[in-house]
A and B are shown apart, each in its own frame.
Chain A
């Protein structure tokens, strides 16, 4: 046997959609997490309710690298339709736990095979034939527990956390877990190098799907009006929010809600309602994905031009069109920055982690009201629908920023007031809302002057557009700044954002360890960018912009802000398979481009 590989492997579970493997996968992740090992879980699933192949990948890594790993170390093959293909795709040395009936050991000789008679094992455990399909999966947890050395007691604890409120299901699954473990102990002899050891790297952390983190951020931001239309992968943002709000935002004395959540007839209506609510003074939001964003274009422009706050959560999936609805991408960055016809620029916040899904969603509400404009939170399917480790979310340390909402005292102090008058020179006017008893105004998506009156005068239009641009510049100083990790003397740098972060961190490790290439790193968290981006580019020779779309969308946005000299330093690394980006794809591409640059430099 090769030397042990401890706390560094990926497991891929191949099943059929709808077969109930989610409990088994979450128990597996949670038990590793409970043993203190950094872990992540990603569901690579089809747009289908039941019957199509689905894969779940779990990454455990002692260094904390939890991006998707390109190669699979341990395959759990339970789907007869894909099993052979799945086995053929493995690197030599990988291990395969499989349904014995599939006879996968005939396919290759350079893998470690662990046949398990699932059907035979599940019968005595679960006499009710109808339930067997669901319980069967827990057997592979038992087998892996024995093969990898995962403490069975931790599995049991994780199972209880998962099913504690369903005693019958808990008992059945426990028995299946034990059956798998016992079978492995008796019939399988360990022949692969992968195993686990207890660590202490997850203390004080939580496990969460980041759509739930967005929901928590919205609730803690005091959202009052939520209007939405179901669309994968954003649906669970609002469904989770509904659960939280029912629990924490209902007045215990009267039983009445401090919020309204409405499922609209489509995305045109969901953003229209959010804009209507924002105009009337509520903290409002909607959540959607690519196709919904396209439908929201016109209202986004209205929100920008009439200066109405609203928060739009875009959980990006693969486009264009219906695209791959259950796969991940960063494909809406460019279109969202300028969403709508006419000159439009939107504030976007870009979380990389569950923590930031919480904190930046909260921030989005403050910025929307401060800048009186729609603010977009650009997350993605990989973040939103997968299981992430995160530090516990801190309680907000600042009160809500409701922006320039006029009150009578302020109104009396102002020399003059018009709804769209820039009295403070920052491009942000003061606003009143219906029902506040202060002067009313007529809001309109047509041309208007500083008082909000209809105007087609050239100077009124130009001055309005210039003020909106000035407001956007003010936002540049208020958005969450980039996170910079500058390595002294590094010539090469990486710029990335969102979920690419996790693969970039690992790729930097690979570049340093395998090619001796030190890289600086800037992680973008907002649009507009702050001044730090230009300074960072100036200090490096080449900056690789890593993103998960075909057309280098963020690089295009950067170009708008940079000098030709700075633009000349930008290189592009793009990844667009629908799967979460992995480190190897980044480091290979950067090294290839570096080699090419050196060759070009030679005479």
Chain B
């Protein structure tokens, strides 16, 4: 793998730790609706990748089908992307990582793409702890087919056409925690600061990182009576406390009070410092995470922030015990056994 020569930045332009400008992380112009929460998420992805100084050629962007799944075209223009089939992006991402374990995948999905048609693949992606930043741009409805209910729509939430969801919502965060994901966060497309910290922390993590980001659909699900509208989410978001991300390459020492904060060191050496509102909550505690999600749901609130993290569990790809060189770049000498191997096999079959 080669590192491209960094473009020399114009005087005064801000560059990151690998000498790239933020423009190197931008993508094509969005074709989503003006005000769509997904566009804000794309912007946060651009900023987070820029600030983390990730190499664009090491990143891959993957998606399924739906409004959310269009968005990978709108960020990281210098990275390979694959807009695959509905609900099956997890398999494509897994396969790409099998081919090249050094790639850093960002998957973008929607609540229908993940919770309905893609539920099966989502379950196994989380269960395998595949190293991916998996973002669900969750708006509780199908946008591209003009506003049907999705499985994350809350019971009692009404669509624009008056249809009210009678079924309980699927809690993707609780599902992910239960299945074995090692980084589970919920955020809101309108919370720039929190979303940015959570995204950077997810990039620093190695394992399945689920980001359930409530991202209102301004066209079909932003009215009164919807529990996924901007107004409703602003009123009901219940942040778990301030989250500060300290990248590994930043040598600033962050002062924190261990009595009121928790610091978790992530895979690459970066740290997240969580200021506790509730002195009992520890995101490394799986049972506490599930209880928190359940209780918050009962209160009709939306717990946001880093809900669960286990930085130590080995990822699926790391368990495979494959050679260091990406399989996609192995030369023939390493992938085609020699004559003696075939002769040995033939001798046994004679």
Does B7 lie at the interface of the complex (its beta carbon under 8 Å from any beta carbon of A)?
no
Whether A442 contacts B81 in the complex (CB less than 8 A), given A216-B345, A276-B93, comes out as yes
Whether A280 contacts B330 by the Cβ 8 Å rule is no
* Residues of chain B within 8 A of A279, CB atoms compared: 82, 92, 95-96, 99
Does A220 lie at the interface of the complex (its beta carbon under 8 Å from any beta carbon of B)?
yes
Task: Compute the total of residue contacts between A and B using a CB distance below 8 Å.
Answer: 223
Q: CB < 8 Å: which of A221, A262, A440 contacts B336?
A: A221
Whether A224 contacts B83 in the complex (CB less than 8 A), given A265-B121, A277-B96, comes out as no
Does A167 lie at the interface of the complex (its beta carbon under 8 Å from any beta carbon of B)?
no
Does A400 lie at the interface of the complex (its beta carbon under 8 Å from any beta carbon of B)?
yes
Which residue from chain B places its CB closest to the CB of A213 in the assembled complex? B349
* Residues of chain A within 8 A of B79, CB atoms compared: 434, 440
Q: How far is the CA of A54 from the CA of B330 in the complex (A)?
A: 45
Does B332 lie at the interface of the complex (its beta carbon under 8 Å from any beta carbon of A)?
yes
* Residues of chain B within 8 A of A271, CB atoms compared: 91
Whether A227 contacts B95 by the Cβ 8 Å rule is yes
Whether A258 contacts B335 in the complex (CB less than 8 A), given A435-B329, A437-B57, A440-B79, comes out as yes
Whether A433 contacts B328 in the complex (CB less than 8 A), given A249-B337, A265-B120, comes out as yes
Whether A282 contacts B323 in the complex (CB less than 8 A), given A272-B95, A440-B57, A443-B81, comes out as no
Q: How far is the CA of A274 from the CA of B92 in the complex (A)?
A: 8
Whether A248 contacts B96 by the Cβ 8 Å rule is no
Whether A281 contacts B100 by the Cβ 8 Å rule is yes
Whether A272 contacts B92 in the complex (CB less than 8 A), given A206-B346, A396-B336, A400-B336, comes out as yes
Whether B60 contacts A434 by the Cβ 8 Å rule is yes
Which residue from chain A places its CB closest to the CB of B91 in the assembled complex? A272
Whether A260 contacts B96 by the Cβ 8 Å rule is no
Whether A399 contacts B332 by the Cβ 8 Å rule is yes
Whether B99 contacts A269 by the Cβ 8 Å rule is no
Whether A395 contacts B335 by the Cβ 8 Å rule is no
Q: How far is the CA of A400 from the CA of B331 in the complex (A)?
A: 10
Interface size on A, residues (CB 8 A): 70
Does B153 lie at the interface of the complex (its beta carbon under 8 Å from any beta carbon of A)?
no
Whether A280 contacts B328 by the Cβ 8 Å rule is yes
Whether B323 contacts A276 by the Cβ 8 Å rule is no
Whether A280 contacts B100 by the Cβ 8 Å rule is yes
Whether A275 contacts B92 by the Cβ 8 Å rule is yes
B123 to chain A, nearest CB (A): 8
Does B180 lie at the interface of the complex (its beta carbon under 8 Å from any beta carbon of A)?
no
Which residues between 216 and 269 of chain A lie within 8 Å of chain B, taking CB atoms? 216, 219-225, 227, 244, 248-249, 251, 254-260, 262, 264-266, 268-269
* Residues of chain B within 8 A of A8, CB atoms compared: none
Whether B323 contacts A256 by the Cβ 8 Å rule is yes
B228 to chain A, nearest CB (A): 26
Which residue from chain A places its CB closest to the CB of B73 in the assembled complex? A442
Does B10 lie at the interface of the complex (its beta carbon under 8 Å from any beta carbon of A)?
no
Does A536 lie at the interface of the complex (its beta carbon under 8 Å from any beta carbon of B)?
no
A231 to chain B, nearest CB (A): 17
Interface size on B, residues (CB 8 A): 61
Q: CB < 8 Å: which of B77, B90, B342 contacts A220?
A: B342
* Residues of chain A within 8 A of B8, CB atoms compared: none
* Residues of chain A within 8 A of B1, CB atoms compared: 435-437
Q: CB < 8 Å: which of A221, A248, A255, A281 contacts B329?
A: A281
Does B334 lie at the interface of the complex (its beta carbon under 8 Å from any beta carbon of A)?
yes
Whether A276 contacts B3 in the complex (CB less than 8 A), given A259-B322, A268-B91, comes out as no
Whether A260 contacts B322 by the Cβ 8 Å rule is yes
Q: How far is the CA of A221 from the CA of B330 in the complex (A)?
A: 13
Over the window 366-399 of chain A, the binary record of Cβ atoms lying under 8 Å from chain B Cβ atoms (1 yes, 0 no) is: 0000000000000000000000000011011001
Whether A258 contacts B93 by the Cβ 8 Å rule is no
Q: CB < 8 Å: which of A225, A400, A435 contacts B95?
A: A225
Does B4 lie at the interface of the complex (its beta carbon under 8 Å from any beta carbon of A)?
yes
Q: How far is the CA of A220 from the CA of B28 in the complex (A)?
A: 42
Whether A281 contacts B99 by the Cβ 8 Å rule is yes
Q: How far is the CA of A553 from the CA of B205 in the complex (A)?
A: 52
B134 to chain A, nearest CB (A): 14
Q: How far is the CA of A453 from the CA of B31 in the complex (A)?
A: 13
Whether A284 contacts B99 by the Cβ 8 Å rule is yes
Q: A265-B123, A276-B93 are in contact. List 8 more A-B contacts (CB 8 A).
A: A256-B323, A257-B320, A280-B60, A280-B96, A280-B100, A399-B332, A440-B80, A444-B83
- Selected A-B contacts with CB under 8 Å, 25 pairs: A224-B327, A248-B341, A258-B330, A258-B334, A262-B94, A262-B98, A262-B320, A265-B123, A266-B120, A269-B90, A269-B120, A272-B90, A272-B95, A273-B98, A274-B95, A276-B97, A280-B99, A280-B100, A281-B328, A392-B350, A393-B342, A400-B336, A432-B80, A434-B80, A435-B329
Q: Which residues of A contact B (CB under 8 A)?
A: 205-208, 216, 219-225, 227, 244, 248-249, 251, 254-260, 262, 264-266, 268-284, 298-299, 302, 306, 392-393, 395-396, 399-400, 432-437, 440-446, 453-454
